[in-house]
């Protein structure tokens, strides 16, 4: 199907029928999911699907309609629906589609080989990772292994006078294993996602990591409720970054619903803390030439050595704030209006090795798993469930489970006193190992 001609036609229709501005967001996806367990195929799922969303502005009012039926008659009805809704809502002078032409050059978003790799090869990869893990000492059961891939085409046409599009691929695989000992059960999960099939990590690496995770957490011991150092493993980066991402959301800031809203240009944390949002990284899983409404992506420093430098904006929130869009319009699907979200979002690496961080900790917890919502973006309070290892006199002494950690964003950001050199940029939200001087830990 000639999508370009189709979306251009829809824009014309919108304008003809009374829209002052119009945008069409079209998505075409091919998807493959494979699950195996105990060496047997459990499920195979494959499909191709598409859909488009039409955003119109008329009299400063915004209407949006989406559909996954691309026949002319159905598209016409969808345009009418969007215009009808635009008449119902409130006028808002910030309703203005972005005008930015152009795209950022981002390499490595599309793996032309992905589709040509045989399904059997992908199946044998997950069978291999599972069988390797099941051979590890202490592992008693498989919780299954999965492979999934996606190939998508995104096309945005705007009455601002452009049509932009890009193709991308993503693939990933992972496994879950269980270690049992008497009545005890402990699970370990590991996965790897990449743009290119050939960049996926070897099965042995994933298998060992999942198995180690399950086995090393057996025989946990209780600890007393106490204040102590908290070392966050890269696995739990979201515990600190998740709340920040929401708190720097420009729309939230405008609404007064962010604990960082009034702190632009101020020192909010330790000098060791630098946070980057990068939409341009080669082969980055959250990279793209433009954002969810066509604005070119960029690389921005959000926090520079502890000083808050930037919020994230889409076109609407930017206009309202009197700034330019930062290229952070997020769109998870054709059925959604653009929201605001990060690209490859990470805490910059420091100089200390993770081993040294542990070695220099007299008493604390090395946290491998955090559950809960992370930092509350409204008021900065943090509380989560945790599991990991108790550290004493620079050594890991035993695993701990069922503990809690709690504090405030202030305590966490200012308490950052060691940053690891082990940053893995092949994740979308990532941090190296970090240490927070002291937090409240809940135990016995």
Partner 1 sequence: MTNFFPESKPMGRRKFMTLGLQGAVAMALTPTMVRALLAGGNQAKLEVPPELLQKVITSALKRGGDLAEVYVENRISRTILLEEGKFKSAVFGLVGGAGVRVIDGDKTGYAYSDEVTEEKLLRAAEVASFIASSGKKIKPVNIKEQKRPSYVTVKIPLEEVAEAQRMEIMKRAEDAALSYDPRIKMASIDYYDETRDRLIANSEGLLVKSSLPLIFFIVQTLAVGNGSSHMGRERLSRHAGLEMFEEESPEKAAKEAARESIAMLEAKEAPAGKMDVVIQNGWGGVLVHEAVGHPLEADNIARQTGAFVGKLGKKVAADIFTMVDDGSLPGFRGTTDFDDEGTQMKRNVLIQNGVLVKFMTDILSARQLKMERTGNGRRESFRYYPIPRMTNTFIEKGQDKPEDIIASTKSGLYVQSLTGGSVDPTTGVFNFTCREAYLIEDGQKTVPVRGATLIGSCLDIITRIDAIGNDLAFGPGICGKGQSAEVTAGQPTVRIRGINVGGTRQRA
Touching partner 1, residues 68-87 (CB under 8 A): 68-69, 74, 77-78, 81-82, 84-86
Query: Which of 273/285 has CB closer to partner 1?
Result: 285
Binding-site size, partner 1 (CB under 8 A):
108
Comparing CA positions, the residue from 224, 256, 217 lying closest to residue 377 is: 256
Contact region with partner 1 (CB under 8 A), list: 130-138, 256-264, 270-278, 346-354 = 256-264
Contacting residue, 104, 131, 187, 301, with partner 1 by CB under 8 A: 187
Residue 48 φ/ψ, nearest 5 degrees: -125, 135
Give residues 369-408 in contact with partner 1 (rule: CB under 8 A): 371-373, 376-379, 381, 383-385, 387, 401-408
Interface with partner 1, residue 120, by CB under 8 A: no
Interface with partner 1, residue 251, by CB under 8 A: yes
Give residues 320-349 in contact with partner 1 (rule: CB under 8 A): 331-337, 343
Interface with partner 1, residue 49, by CB under 8 A: yes
Interface with partner 1, residue 419, by CB under 8 A: no
Query: Which of 49/362 has CB closer to partner 1?
Result: 49
In angstroms, what is the minimal distance from the CB of 249 to partner 1? 9
Q: How many helices (H) and strands (E) does the chain have?
A: 9, 19
- Tell me the residue ranges of DSSP E strands in 15-161: 21-37, 40-58, 61-67, 139-158
In angstroms, what is the minimal distance from the CB of 426 to partner 1? 9
- Residue 44: C-alpha distances to residues 4, 6, 40, 41 (Å): 32, 32, 11, 8
In angstroms, what is the minimal distance from the CB of 142 to partner 1? 8
Tell me, residue by residue from 137 to 176, as one string, x for binding to partner 1 by CB under 8 A and - for no binding.
Answer: ----x-xx-x-x-x-x-x-------------xxx-x-x-x
Residue with tokens 């409130």: 90
Give residues 22-41 in contact with partner 1 (rule: CB under 8 A): 27, 29, 31, 37, 40-41
Instruction: Give the number of other Cβ atoms within 10 Å of residue 147's Cβ.
Output: 23
Tell me, residue by residue from 197 to 226, as one string, x for binding to partner 1 by CB under 8 A and - for no binding.
Answer: ----------------------------xx
Comparing CA positions, the residue from 162, 137, 148, 98 lying closest to residue 331 is: 98
Element (H, E) at 418: strand 416-419
| Cα diameter, the chain | 74
- Residue 327: C-alpha distances to residues 62, 79, 334, 401 (Å): 20, 26, 18, 41
Residues near 253 by Cβ (< 8 Å), separated by ≥ 6? 247, 260, 261, 311, 321
Contact region with partner 1 (CB under 8 A), list: 14-22, 48-56, 306-314, 355-363 = 48-56
Contacting residue, 3, 66, 311, 346, with partner 1 by CB under 8 A: 66
Interface with partner 1, residue 117, by CB under 8 A: no
Query: Which of 12/227 has CB closer to partner 1?
Result: 227
Distance (Å, whole) CA 376 – CA 389: 25
Interface with partner 1, residue 191, by CB under 8 A: yes
Distance (Å, whole) CA 374 – CA 223: 22
| Cα dihedral 345→347→351→357 (10° resolution) | -120
Tell me, residue by residue from 269 to 308, as one string, x for binding to partner 1 by CB under 8 A and - for no binding.
Answer: ---------------xxxxx--------------------
Interface with partner 1, residue 89, by CB under 8 A: yes
Residues near 9 by Cβ (< 8 Å), separated by ≥ 6? none
Query: Which of 86/312 has CB closer to partner 1?
Result: 86
In angstroms, what is the minimal distance from the CB of 248 to partner 1? 15
Element (H, E) at 168: strand 162-181
In angstroms, what is the minimal distance from the CB of 143 to partner 1? 5
Query: Which of 37/435 has CB closer to partner 1?
Result: 37
Query: Which of 114/366 has CB closer to partner 1?
Result: 114
Distance (Å, whole) CA 245 – CA 276: 11
Query: Which of 187/309 has CB closer to partner 1?
Result: 187
Do the beta carbons of residue 317 and residue 295 sit within 8 Å? no
Do the beta carbons of residue 331 and residue 339 sit within 8 Å? yes
Interface with partner 1, residue 108, by CB under 8 A: no
In angstroms, what is the minimal distance from the CB of 57 to partner 1? 11
Distance (Å, whole) CA 276 – CA 204: 32
């Amino acid at each position: 199907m000639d999508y370009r001609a189709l979306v251009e036609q829809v824009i014309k229709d919108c304008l003809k029928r009374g829209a002052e501005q119009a945008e069409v967001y079209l998505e075409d996806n091919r998807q493959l999911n494979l699950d195996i367990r105990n060496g047997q195929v459990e499920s195979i799922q494959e499909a191709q699907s598409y859909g488009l969303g039409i955003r119109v502005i008329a009299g400063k009012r915004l209407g949006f309609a989406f559909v996954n039926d691309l026949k002319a008659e159905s598209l016409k009805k969808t345009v009418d629906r969007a215009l009808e809704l635009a008449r119902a809502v409130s006028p808002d002078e910030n309703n203005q589609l972005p005008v930015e032409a152009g795209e950022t050059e981002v390499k490595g978003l599309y793996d032309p080989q992905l589709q040509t790799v045989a399904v059997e090869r992908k199946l044998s990869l997950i069978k291999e990772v599972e069988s390797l893990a099941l051979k590890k000492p202490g592992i008693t059961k498989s919780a299954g292994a999965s492979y999934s891939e996606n190939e998508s085409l995104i096309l945005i046409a705007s009455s601002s006078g452009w049509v932009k599009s890009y193709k991308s691929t993503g693939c990933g695989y992972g496994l879950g294993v269980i270690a049992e000992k008497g009545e005890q059960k402990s699970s370990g999960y590991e996965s790897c996602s990449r743009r290119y099939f050939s960049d996926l990590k070897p099965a042995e690496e994933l298998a060992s990591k999942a198995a180690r995770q399950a086995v090393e957490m057996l025989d946990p011991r209780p600890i007393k409720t106490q204040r102590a150092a908290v070392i966050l493993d890269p696995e739990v980066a979201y515990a600190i970054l998740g709340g920040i991402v929401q708190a720097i959301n420009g729309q939230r800031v405008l609404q007064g619903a962010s604990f960082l809203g009034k702190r632009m240009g101020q020192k909010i944390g330790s000098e060791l803390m630098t946070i980057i949002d990068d939409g341009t990284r080669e082969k980055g899983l959250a990279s793209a030439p433009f954002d969810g409404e066509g604005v070119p992506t960029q690389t921005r420093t959000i926090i520079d050595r502890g000083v808050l430098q930037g919020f994230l904006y889409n076109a609407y929130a930017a206009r309202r704030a009197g700034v330019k869009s930062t290229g952070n319009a997020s769109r998870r699907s054709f059925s959604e209006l653009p929201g605001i979200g990060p690209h490859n979002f990470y805490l910059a690496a420091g100089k200390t090795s993770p081993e040294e961080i542990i070695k220099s900790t007299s008493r604390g917890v090395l946290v491998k798993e955090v559950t809960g919502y992370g930092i509350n973006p409204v008021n900065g309070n943090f509380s989560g469930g945790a599991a990991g290892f108790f550290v004493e006199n620079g050594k890991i002494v035993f695993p701990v489970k069922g503990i809690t950690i709690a504090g405030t964003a202030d305590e966490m950001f200012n308490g950052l006193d060691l940053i690891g050199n082990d940053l893995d940029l092949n994740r979308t939200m990532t941090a190296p190992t970090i240490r927070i001087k002291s937090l409240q830990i809940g135990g016995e």
